[in-house]
Amino acid sequence: MHRSQFQKINRGSRGKPKPEEIKLNIRIYPNPTSNLITISVPDSIQYVFELRDIYIVYVFKRKITKEIDVSTLSNGIYAVKFLVSNKMQYSGKLVIIK
C-alpha cells in the first residue's frame, strides 16, 4: 500500500520554514545492530542525537555524525531522539543484539 504524506508548513517572516516545522527524513540502520549504526539525516539542519538506556541514562548526546559505534553497549532497547534547537523532532528505538 502506498501512503502519501502532506504537511502544512507555516512560513516565518522571511518565508522560510522554521526548524521545528520541518518534517525530518531520518533513517537509522541497521536496526537491530551489534556494532555500528548509520544515521541518514538531511544535511541542511544541525541535529543533536540522544541515545538513552531503559533507566533514562544518557548513553550519547552529541551532534550527528554519519556513523556511531555502539559495540560497547549492552544488549537491549535504547530510546533514540533527534533534537533541533533543543526541541524533539524524532523519537524511536534502537535494538542492540550481540
- pLDDT tens digits, one per residue of 49-64: 889 998 888 888 887 7
Domain boundaries, position 78: 19-96
**Residue 75 maps to a domain:** yes
Query: Based on the structure, what is the number of domains in the chain?
Result: 1
pLDDT higher than threshold 50 for residue 2: no
**Phi-psi domain of 39 (left: phi exceeds 0; alpha: psi -120 through 50; beta: other):** beta
Task: Give a yes or no: residue 72 inside a domain.
Answer: yes
| CATH number for 34 | 2.60.40.10
Residues 6+ apart with CB under 8 A from 16: none
Q: What is the pLDDT of residue 30?
A: 96
Q: Whose grid coordinates read 533543543?
A: 86
pLDDT score of 77 more than 60: yes
In contact, 89 and 24? CB cutoff 8 Å:
yes
Flag whether the pTM goes above 0.75: no
